[in-house]
Structure 1
Protein backbone atom coordinates (compact mmCIF):
# COMPACT_ATOMS: atom_id res chain seq x y z
CA UNK A 1 0.00 0.00 0.00
CA UNK A 2 1.34 3.44 -0.84
CA UNK A 3 2.01 5.83 1.98
CA UNK A 4 -0.29 8.84 2.15
CA UNK A 5 1.19 11.79 0.32
CA UNK A 6 3.42 14.00 2.34
CA UNK A 7 5.12 17.21 1.42
CA UNK A 8 3.67 19.42 -1.28
CA UNK A 9 1.99 16.62 -3.27
CA UNK A 10 3.27 18.16 -6.50
CA UNK A 11 4.17 16.25 -9.63
CA UNK A 12 7.90 16.82 -9.20
CA UNK A 13 10.12 13.79 -9.75
CA UNK A 14 8.85 10.79 -7.74
CA UNK A 15 5.75 12.62 -6.45
CA UNK A 16 3.54 10.87 -8.99
CA UNK A 17 3.93 7.52 -7.18
CA UNK A 18 2.93 8.96 -3.80
CA UNK A 19 -0.80 8.98 -3.17
CA UNK A 20 -2.09 12.44 -2.23
CA UNK A 21 -3.68 12.81 1.19
CA UNK A 22 -6.92 13.94 -0.43
CA UNK A 23 -7.24 10.61 -2.26
CA UNK A 24 -6.55 8.63 0.90
CA UNK A 25 -9.06 10.65 2.90
CA UNK A 26 -11.71 10.50 0.17
CA UNK A 27 -11.25 6.76 -0.34
CA UNK A 28 -11.58 5.92 3.35
CA UNK A 29 -14.51 8.28 3.75
CA UNK A 30 -16.21 6.55 0.81
CA UNK A 31 -15.55 3.12 2.33
CA UNK A 32 -16.71 4.02 5.84
CA UNK A 33 -19.59 6.24 4.75
CA UNK A 34 -20.84 3.59 2.35
CA UNK A 35 -20.67 1.00 5.10
CA UNK A 36 -22.82 3.21 7.30
CA UNK A 37 -25.25 3.70 4.41
CA UNK A 38 -25.58 -0.09 4.02
CA UNK A 39 -26.43 -0.35 7.72
CA UNK A 40 -28.92 2.51 7.34
CA UNK A 41 -30.56 0.82 4.36
CA UNK A 42 -31.04 -2.40 6.35
CA UNK A 43 -32.40 -0.39 9.27
CA UNK A 44 -34.87 1.40 6.99
CA UNK A 45 -36.10 -1.90 5.56
CA UNK A 46 -36.40 -3.41 9.04
CA UNK A 47 -38.52 -0.52 10.32
CA UNK A 48 -40.84 -0.10 7.32
CA UNK A 49 -43.67 -1.96 9.07
CA UNK A 50 -43.26 -0.25 12.46
CA UNK A 51 -46.02 1.89 13.96
CA UNK A 52 -43.67 4.88 14.11
CA UNK A 53 -42.92 4.69 10.39
CA UNK A 54 -46.61 4.22 9.60
CA UNK A 55 -47.52 7.30 11.64
CA UNK A 56 -44.85 9.47 10.00
CA UNK A 57 -45.87 8.35 6.50
CA UNK A 58 -49.55 9.01 7.24
CA UNK A 59 -48.65 12.45 8.60
CA UNK A 60 -46.71 13.33 5.44
CA UNK A 61 -49.55 12.06 3.24
CA UNK A 62 -52.08 14.16 5.18
CA UNK A 63 -50.21 17.42 4.51
CA UNK A 64 -51.27 19.62 1.56
CA UNK A 65 -48.71 18.66 -1.09
CA UNK A 66 -49.64 14.98 -0.83
CA UNK A 67 -53.17 15.09 0.61
CA UNK A 68 -54.85 15.21 -2.81
CA UNK A 69 -52.32 13.07 -4.67
CA UNK A 70 -54.03 9.73 -4.11
CA UNK A 71 -50.79 8.10 -2.97
CA UNK A 72 -51.41 5.44 -0.34
CA UNK A 73 -49.45 4.12 2.60
CA UNK A 74 -48.46 0.89 0.85
CA UNK A 75 -47.24 2.78 -2.22
CA UNK A 76 -44.93 4.88 -0.08
CA UNK A 77 -43.70 1.81 1.79
CA UNK A 78 -42.97 0.05 -1.51
CA UNK A 79 -41.09 3.09 -2.81
CA UNK A 80 -39.09 3.36 0.42
CA UNK A 81 -38.28 -0.36 0.27
CA UNK A 82 -37.10 -0.10 -3.35
CA UNK A 83 -35.02 3.00 -2.60
CA UNK A 84 -33.42 1.32 0.41
CA UNK A 85 -32.57 -1.75 -1.68
CA UNK A 86 -31.00 0.43 -4.39
CA UNK A 87 -29.11 2.37 -1.73
CA UNK A 88 -27.85 -0.83 -0.13
CA UNK A 89 -26.61 -2.18 -3.46
CA UNK A 90 -24.98 1.06 -4.54
CA UNK A 91 -23.40 1.62 -1.12
CA UNK A 92 -21.97 -1.91 -1.13
CA UNK A 93 -20.45 -1.32 -4.55
CA UNK A 94 -19.08 2.10 -3.58
CA UNK A 95 -17.47 0.65 -0.44
CA UNK A 96 -15.62 -1.96 -2.51
CA UNK A 97 -14.68 0.54 -5.21
CA UNK A 98 -13.55 3.04 -2.58
CA UNK A 99 -10.99 0.52 -1.38
CA UNK A 100 -9.84 -0.04 -4.98
CA UNK A 101 -9.10 3.70 -5.22
CA UNK A 102 -6.20 3.20 -2.85
CA UNK A 103 -4.58 1.09 -5.57
CA UNK A 104 -4.93 3.85 -8.17
CA UNK A 105 -7.72 2.08 -10.04
CA UNK A 106 -9.00 4.52 -12.68
CA UNK A 107 -11.97 2.28 -13.50
CA UNK A 108 -13.06 2.41 -9.86
CA UNK A 109 -13.06 6.21 -10.00
CA UNK A 110 -15.27 6.19 -13.10
CA UNK A 111 -17.62 3.54 -11.66
CA UNK A 112 -17.94 5.54 -8.44
CA UNK A 113 -18.89 8.61 -10.43
CA UNK A 114 -21.62 6.67 -12.23
CA UNK A 115 -22.88 5.12 -8.97
CA UNK A 116 -23.02 8.51 -7.25
CA UNK A 117 -26.26 9.45 -9.05
CA UNK A 118 -28.45 6.52 -7.92
CA UNK A 119 -26.72 6.63 -4.52
CA UNK A 120 -27.76 10.24 -3.95
CA UNK A 121 -31.32 9.74 -5.25
CA UNK A 122 -31.91 6.59 -3.18
CA UNK A 123 -30.11 8.08 -0.18
CA UNK A 124 -32.83 10.68 0.24
CA UNK A 125 -34.89 7.96 1.95
CA UNK A 126 -32.42 7.02 4.69
CA UNK A 127 -29.64 9.53 5.35
CA UNK A 128 -29.41 12.46 2.93
CA UNK A 129 -26.52 14.10 4.80
CA UNK A 130 -24.25 11.05 4.83
CA UNK A 131 -25.17 10.30 1.22
CA UNK A 132 -24.22 13.84 0.21
CA UNK A 133 -20.91 13.55 2.05
CA UNK A 134 -20.04 10.33 0.20
CA UNK A 135 -20.96 12.06 -3.07
CA UNK A 136 -18.67 14.99 -2.20
CA UNK A 137 -15.84 12.54 -1.46
CA UNK A 138 -16.42 10.99 -4.90
CA UNK A 139 -16.32 14.45 -6.48
CA UNK A 140 -12.99 15.14 -4.74
CA UNK A 141 -11.46 12.41 -6.90
CA UNK A 142 -11.79 14.63 -9.98
CA UNK A 143 -9.95 17.72 -8.71
CA UNK A 144 -6.25 18.48 -8.30
CA UNK A 145 -4.14 16.70 -6.92
CA UNK A 146 -6.26 13.53 -7.16
CA UNK A 147 -6.85 14.02 -10.88
CA UNK A 148 -3.12 14.28 -11.52
CA UNK A 149 -2.36 11.18 -9.44
CA UNK A 150 -4.90 9.06 -11.32
CA UNK A 151 -3.57 10.38 -14.64
CA UNK A 152 -0.20 8.94 -13.78
Structure 2
Protein backbone atom coordinates (compact mmCIF):
# COMPACT_ATOMS: atom_id res chain seq x y z
CA UNK A 1 0.00 0.00 0.00
CA UNK A 2 2.85 2.40 0.80
CA UNK A 3 4.30 1.92 -2.69
CA UNK A 4 0.96 2.77 -4.30
CA UNK A 5 0.58 5.87 -2.14
CA UNK A 6 4.12 7.03 -2.91
CA UNK A 7 3.47 6.44 -6.62
CA UNK A 8 0.27 8.51 -6.42
CA UNK A 9 2.20 11.27 -4.65
CA UNK A 10 4.90 11.26 -7.27
CA UNK A 11 2.70 11.07 -10.36
CA UNK A 12 0.38 13.80 -9.06
CA UNK A 13 3.21 16.24 -8.33
CA UNK A 14 5.13 15.45 -11.52
CA UNK A 15 2.04 15.98 -13.69
CA UNK A 16 1.25 19.27 -11.95
CA UNK A 17 4.79 20.66 -11.99
CA UNK A 18 5.44 19.31 -15.48
CA UNK A 19 2.28 21.00 -16.72
CA UNK A 20 3.41 24.33 -15.30
CA UNK A 21 6.86 23.94 -16.87
CA UNK A 22 5.34 23.07 -20.26
CA UNK A 23 2.90 25.97 -20.04
CA UNK A 24 5.46 28.58 -18.98
CA UNK A 25 8.42 27.56 -21.12
CA UNK A 26 6.80 26.03 -24.21
CA UNK A 27 3.13 26.81 -24.80
CA UNK A 28 2.91 30.48 -23.80
CA UNK A 29 6.09 31.64 -25.57
CA UNK A 30 5.23 29.62 -28.67
CA UNK A 31 1.68 30.98 -28.81
CA UNK A 32 2.77 34.61 -28.48
CA UNK A 33 5.54 34.26 -31.07
CA UNK A 34 3.72 32.18 -33.69
CA UNK A 35 -0.01 32.85 -33.65
CA UNK A 36 -1.20 35.60 -36.01
CA UNK A 37 -2.38 38.01 -33.28
CA UNK A 38 -1.60 38.69 -29.64
CA UNK A 39 -5.33 38.45 -28.96
CA UNK A 40 -5.52 34.91 -30.34
CA UNK A 41 -2.42 33.92 -28.36
CA UNK A 42 -4.02 35.36 -25.23
CA UNK A 43 -7.17 33.33 -25.82
CA UNK A 44 -5.15 30.12 -26.22
CA UNK A 45 -2.90 30.83 -23.24
CA UNK A 46 -5.78 31.93 -20.99
CA UNK A 47 -7.87 28.88 -21.86
CA UNK A 48 -4.93 26.55 -21.35
CA UNK A 49 -4.12 28.16 -18.00
CA UNK A 50 -7.64 27.44 -16.77
CA UNK A 51 -7.25 23.78 -17.75
CA UNK A 52 -3.83 23.70 -16.07
CA UNK A 53 -5.39 25.02 -12.87
CA UNK A 54 -8.07 22.33 -12.97
CA UNK A 55 -5.32 19.74 -13.41
CA UNK A 56 -3.57 21.33 -10.43
CA UNK A 57 -6.68 20.96 -8.27
CA UNK A 58 -7.04 17.28 -9.21
CA UNK A 59 -3.32 16.52 -8.83
CA UNK A 60 -3.06 18.58 -5.65
CA UNK A 61 -6.05 16.83 -4.14
CA UNK A 62 -4.67 13.42 -5.05
CA UNK A 63 -1.27 14.39 -3.66
CA UNK A 64 -2.84 15.63 -0.44
CA UNK A 65 -4.89 12.47 0.13
CA UNK A 66 -1.95 10.15 -0.57
CA UNK A 67 0.40 12.19 1.62
CA UNK A 68 -2.11 12.48 4.46
CA UNK A 69 -2.58 8.70 4.49
CA UNK A 70 1.19 8.18 4.50
CA UNK A 71 1.47 10.72 7.33
CA UNK A 72 -1.13 8.99 9.50
CA UNK A 73 0.48 5.59 8.98
CA UNK A 74 4.04 6.77 9.58
CA UNK A 75 5.77 6.42 12.95
CA UNK A 76 5.99 9.71 14.86
CA UNK A 77 9.74 9.99 14.33
CA UNK A 78 9.34 10.24 10.53
CA UNK A 79 6.12 12.24 10.18
CA UNK A 80 8.07 15.44 9.64
CA UNK A 81 8.97 14.33 6.13
CA UNK A 82 5.31 14.56 5.17
CA UNK A 83 4.47 17.73 7.09
CA UNK A 84 6.59 19.96 4.85
CA UNK A 85 5.20 18.32 1.72
CA UNK A 86 1.66 18.93 2.97
CA UNK A 87 2.41 22.57 3.82
CA UNK A 88 4.08 23.35 0.49
CA UNK A 89 1.34 21.63 -1.50
CA UNK A 90 -1.33 23.47 0.53
CA UNK A 91 0.23 26.79 -0.48
CA UNK A 92 0.32 25.56 -4.08
CA UNK A 93 -3.38 24.72 -3.96
CA UNK A 94 -4.32 28.02 -2.31
CA UNK A 95 -2.27 30.02 -4.81
CA UNK A 96 -3.86 28.15 -7.71
CA UNK A 97 -7.32 28.78 -6.26
CA UNK A 98 -6.49 32.47 -5.87
CA UNK A 99 -5.44 32.73 -9.50
CA UNK A 100 -8.42 30.77 -10.78
CA UNK A 101 -11.08 32.47 -8.66
CA UNK A 102 -9.75 36.03 -8.43
CA UNK A 103 -7.00 36.99 -10.85
CA UNK A 104 -8.22 35.32 -14.06
CA UNK A 105 -11.82 36.58 -13.72
CA UNK A 106 -10.52 40.11 -13.07
CA UNK A 107 -8.33 39.86 -16.17
CA UNK A 108 -11.35 38.69 -18.17
CA UNK A 109 -13.28 41.71 -16.93
CA UNK A 110 -10.46 44.00 -18.03
CA UNK A 111 -10.51 42.41 -21.50
CA UNK A 112 -14.26 42.94 -21.63
CA UNK A 113 -13.87 46.60 -20.63
CA UNK A 114 -11.30 46.95 -23.41
CA UNK A 115 -13.83 45.75 -25.98
CA UNK A 116 -12.66 42.14 -26.16
CA UNK A 117 -9.04 42.75 -27.17
CA UNK A 118 -6.74 44.16 -24.49
CA UNK A 119 -4.09 44.98 -27.12
CA UNK A 120 -6.55 47.14 -29.08
CA UNK A 121 -6.59 49.85 -26.42
CA UNK A 122 -3.86 52.31 -25.48
CA UNK A 123 -1.27 51.22 -22.93
CA UNK A 124 -2.63 53.95 -20.64
CA UNK A 125 -6.24 52.74 -20.78
CA UNK A 126 -7.32 51.86 -17.20
CA UNK A 127 -8.42 48.35 -18.19
CA UNK A 128 -5.08 47.63 -19.83
CA UNK A 129 -3.07 49.08 -16.95
CA UNK A 130 -5.00 46.89 -14.52
CA UNK A 131 -4.70 43.86 -16.82
CA UNK A 132 -0.92 44.25 -17.04
CA UNK A 133 -0.67 44.57 -13.26
CA UNK A 134 -2.70 41.38 -12.83
CA UNK A 135 -0.62 39.63 -15.50
CA UNK A 136 2.56 40.33 -13.54
CA UNK A 137 0.88 39.12 -10.36
CA UNK A 138 -0.29 35.96 -12.13
CA UNK A 139 3.23 35.19 -13.37
CA UNK A 140 4.69 35.68 -9.90
CA UNK A 141 2.10 33.57 -8.12
CA UNK A 142 2.40 30.82 -10.74
CA UNK A 143 6.17 31.00 -10.25
CA UNK A 144 5.70 30.40 -6.52
CA UNK A 145 3.53 27.38 -7.31
CA UNK A 146 6.27 26.04 -9.59
CA UNK A 147 9.05 26.63 -7.05
CA UNK A 148 7.08 25.04 -4.23
CA UNK A 149 6.28 22.07 -6.48
CA UNK A 150 9.97 21.64 -7.25
CA UNK A 151 10.59 21.86 -3.50
CA UNK A 152 8.09 19.07 -2.86
CA UNK A 153 9.76 16.91 -5.52
CA UNK A 154 13.15 17.59 -3.95
CA UNK A 155 11.84 16.55 -0.54
CA UNK A 156 10.39 13.39 -2.05
CA UNK A 157 13.65 12.60 -3.83
CA UNK A 158 15.69 12.76 -0.65
CA UNK A 159 13.35 10.84 1.63
CA UNK A 160 14.07 7.26 2.58
CA UNK A 161 11.03 5.04 1.99
CA UNK A 162 12.17 2.67 4.73
CA UNK A 163 11.45 4.37 8.09
CA UNK A 164 13.64 1.79 9.86
CA UNK A 165 16.69 3.37 8.17
CA UNK A 166 15.94 6.93 9.25
TM-score range, shorter chain: 0.3 to 0.5
Task: Report which of the two has the higher share of helix.
Answer: 2
Using CA pairs below 8 Å that are at least 6 residues apart, which structure has the higher relative contact order? 1
Q: TM-score with structure 1 length normalisation? A: 0.47
